[in-house]
Structure 1
Amino acid sequence: MGARVSREDYEWVYTEEPHATRRKEIMAKYPQVKKLMGPDPNLKYKVLCLVTLQILAMSVISTQSWPIVFLMAYIFGGTINHSLNLAIHEIAHNLAFGHGRPLANRALGMIANLPIGVPISVSFKKYHLEHHRYQGDVKKDVDIPSEFEGKMFNRTLLKLIWVILQPYFYAFRPLFIRPMPVTLLEVINFIVQVLFDVMVYKYFGVKAIFYFIQGTFLGTGLHPLSGHFISEHYMFIKGQETYSYYGPLNLLTFNVGYHNEHHDFPSIPGSRLPELKKIAPEYYDNLPHYTSWVKVIYDFIMDPEIGPYSRVRRHIKDSDKTD
C-alpha cells in the first residue's frame, strides 16, 4: 500500500475561492442570516471552564507515574487543549466580545492559551485571517503544506509520520513561508505564557508542564479531533476545496466541523452555524461532507492518491500588493 506515490503537485485553479460568492447569494436570499452574526456571550464561560478544568488537573497529574501522565496527556489533556485551540480560533474572529472590543478578545485568547503551554493565540490570529481572505493563495495561505511536505511525505508510512508531526508543521511553517514582524501583543502573549509555565513548574513540577505541552502536541497530532485539520480543505474529491463534518465531535470543537458554513460566514460563531445550515439547506446539504474524522485520517494515510499536495492553490491578484 505504501509503494505508490501520492500527488506530485497541488491542484492549481484559476477561479476565485467559492465562499464569497455563496455568502452573497445566501445573504440576498435569506437576509435573516444577519441575526446570527455577532459574538457568542457564552464563549468566555466555556473557555474559563476548560482552563479551570486543566488547572485542577495539575494537582492530580503531578502525583501520578509517568505512564499515567503520558496517557492522561493524550486522552484528557490533549482533548481539552485541542478544544482550547479551537476556542482560540473562535476568539481570533472576535466572536467572544465582538469587533468593538478587540483587546478583550485578545486577553481571553491569552487565557485560553495558558494550558496549551506554548504561546500561539496572537500569532494564530494574524495568519488565520489571511487563510480566510486568501484561501489557497500561493503566497499568503500558510494553512497549505509546503512543497517540501508535499514531496517528502507522499507514501503511507511517511504520511502517518506527517500526521503525527502536524502540530510542528503548523507551528513552524509560517516562519519559513511567510514570516511577519513580531507585534507587541505577541510579546505580551509570550511573557504571560512563560510566567504561567514557570509558576506551574515551581508549584506542580515537571509532570504538570509535560502534561500541558505534550498534551497539546499529542492532541493535535494523531488524535481523533485532529481529523478536522485534514477534513477541512484536503481535496478528496477533485475540485472540492472545503468540506464540512457533521458528527458528534463538533460538541468538543466549537462546531468547527461546519467548515463550509464557517468560511461562508466567519462572523457567525460556531454555536450558531447549525442554524445557518437549517436556514439555507440547499446550499449545504448537497455538498460533499464527512461524518467521521477518524475515517478521514485513515483515508488520508492509506489512500495513495491523497497526500499533503492534495490542496487547491491559486494565484490571487492582490496577493502581490503591500499589506
Structure 2
Amino acid sequence: MGNRIPRGDFEWVYTDQPHTQRRKEILAKYPAIKSLMGPDPHLKWIVSCMVLIQFCAGYLVKDLSWQWLFFWAYAFGGCVNHSLTLAIHDISHNVAFGNKFIQWNRWFAVFANLPIGLPYSASFKKYHVDHHRYLGVDKLDVDLPTDFECWFFCTPMRKLLWLFLQPIFYALRPFLLNRLAITQMEVFNFLTQLAVNFMIYTLWGVKPLVYFIVGTFLCMGLHPFSGHFIAEHYVFMKGYETYSYYGPLNWITFNVGYHMEHHDFPSISGLKLPMVRKIAPEYYDNLPYHNSWVQVIRDFIFNDSLGLSSRVKRSPKKALKTF
C-alpha cells in the first residue's frame, strides 16, 4: 500500500467513525442484507466440535515430552484456540443464538472459552461493545495501544518483542485505560474455568493445561494468525482506519479478515460476511485491503513509517456527545 503516514503521535481526527454512515447507505440501497442478520445455525456446532477436538488433544498430549508438547501447542492447539477466541468475538455479537436468547450466547461463550485455559470471554464482551461504539476514542476504546507501548516499542526488535507479548498488553489495557466494574458473568466465567482446569489437572495432570494456556499465548502473539490484530485498524494508508483481509486464513478464523464489513454490520455472523461484499461490491472493492497477514506483520516490524501509534484517535468529549 502507498501513501504511508510518518510515524509519531496518533492520527487525531475530528469526525465520526465511517461505519455508521456506510451502513445506512448500504441498507438503503440493498435492504436484502438485513436477511443476513441474526443467529447463524452453524456456529454453535462448529464451535462445539472445536472444543471437543481440543479436549481430545489435551488428553493425547498428557504423556508427551515437553518439547513435543510445546511444538503441538504452537502448531495445532494454539491455532484452534486462537480460532476459538474469534468465535467468541462472533458470539459476543449474539450470533450464536440471536438477540432473543442473549444469556445463551454468554453461557456458550464461556463454553467456547474452556480450551483457552484462561477466563476472558465475559470481559471481552464487556469491552468489545465499546470498541464498536467508540472506535478509536481515547480512553474508551481499549483496543488502542497505551502511550507507554507507543513510546517503548518503537524499533524493529522492540516491535517484535511487543508482538510476542501482545496477549499481556491486551489483557492489561482495560485496567489501565477504562476499568469497568466486574460483572456476575465474569465471576461465572472465572469459576467455571477454574473448576474445569482443576478437573483436567486432577484427571490428566499439568501437561494438558500447559498445552492449552501456552498454545493460547503463543498463537495470540508472534504467529501468522495474529496478523489480524495489526491488519484491522493500524493505519497503513492515510485516511483509512479499518481494513479487510481476503486471504485463505479466513477459512479457519471465522472470516475475521472481513473487518470492514464486520464493523459496518456487527450483527452479521462472520460466516456470512463474504455475502455482504458480494451484495454491495462497490462499497468495498475500491477500499484498501490486505492480502497477507504475514506480510502485515513483516511490514509492521521493519517499516519505519509504521508503529504502535499508527492508529486513528478521537476525542472522548465528542464521542460522548455523539452517543
| Same fold? TM cut 0.5 | yes
Q: Name the residue aligned to 1:92.
A: 92
Extract structure 1 runs of 4+ deviating beyond 2 A. Answer: 316-321
- How far apart are residue 19 of structure 1 and its match? 0.2
Report if the CA contact (8 A) 2:140-2:316 is conserved: no
Provide TM-score, normalisation by structure 2.
0.96
* Matched ranges for 1:79-118 at <5 A: 79-118=79-118
> Percent of counterpart pairs with the same letter?
57
Query: What aligned pairs does 1:220-239 form with structure 2 within 5 A after superposition?
Result: 220-239=220-239
Q: Distance in 1 between matches of 2:47 and 2:108?
A: 8
Instruction: Describe the SS at the equivalent of 1:165.
Output: helix
State the partner residue of 2:207.
Answer: 207
CA distance in 1 between partners of 2:76 and 2:198 (Å):
22
Is the CA contact (8 Å cut-off) linking 2:244 and 2:290 kept in structure 1?
Answer: yes
Q: Following TM superposition, by how much is the alpha carbon of 1:316 offset from its aligned partner in structure 2, in angstroms?
A: 4.2
Aligned residue type for 1:45:
W
Partners of 1:112 and 1:318 in 2: CA distance = 37
Quick one: distance in 1 between partners of 2:188 and 2:70?
30
What are the residue-to-residue correspondences of 1:1-323 with 2, within 5 Å? 7-317=7-317, 319-320=319-320
The code of the aligned residue for 2:250 comes to N
Runs of 5+ in structure 2 lacking a partner?
Answer: 1-5
Tell me the amino acid that sits aligned with residue 161 of structure 1. Answer: L
- Offset at residue 320 of structure 1 (A): 4.8
Residue 284 of structure 1 deviates from its aligned partner by 0.2
Letter in structure 2 aligned against 1:253: T
On the 8 A contact 1:245/1:259 being kept in 2, the answer is yes
* SS in structure 2 at match of 1:9: coil
C-alpha deviation, 1:283, in angstroms: 0.3
- SS of the residue corresponding to residue 209 of structure 1 reads helix
SS in 1 for 2:118: coil
Return the alpha-carbon distance in structure 1 between the equivalents of residues 239 and 148 of structure 2.
23
Per-residue CA distance 1:66-111 (angstroms, 9 max, x = gap): 0000001101011000000000000000010001101100111000
Aligned residues: 317
How far 1:203 sits from its partner (Å)?
1.0
- State the distance in 2 between where 1:287 and 1:238 align: 12
- Give yes or no for contact 1:8–1:151 (8 Å, CA) kept in 2: no
Using the alignment, how far apart are the partners of 1:271 and 1:50 within structure 2? Answer: 15
Q: Residues 131 and 142 of structure 1 are in contact (CA less than 8 Å); yes or no, is this contact kept in structure 2?
A: yes
The corresponding residue for 1:3 is none
- Aligned equivalents of 1:157, 1:139: Cα separation in 2: 27
Structure 1 residue identity aligned to 2:32:
Q
* Aligned partners of 1:131 and 1:143 also within 8 Å: yes
What TM-score, normalized to structure 1? 0.96
Give the drift of 1:202: 1.0
Alpha-carbon offset, residue 139 of structure 1: 2.0
User: Would the aligned equivalents of 2:78 and 2:219 in 1 still touch at CA under 8 Å?
Assistant: yes
The CA deviation at 1:197 is 0.6
C-alpha distance in 2 between matches for 1:86 and 1:25: 28
Q: Which amino acid aligns with 1:102?
A: I
Distance (Å, rounded) in 1 between the aligned partners of 2:281 and 2:59: 47
2:160 counterpart letter in structure 1: L
Contact 1:140 1:319 in 2 (8 A): no
CA RMSD after TM alignment? 1.2
Cα displacement (A) at 1:58: 1.3
Shift of 1:319: 4.5
Matched residue type, 1:219: C
Structure 1 residue runs of 5 or longer lacking an equivalent are 1-5
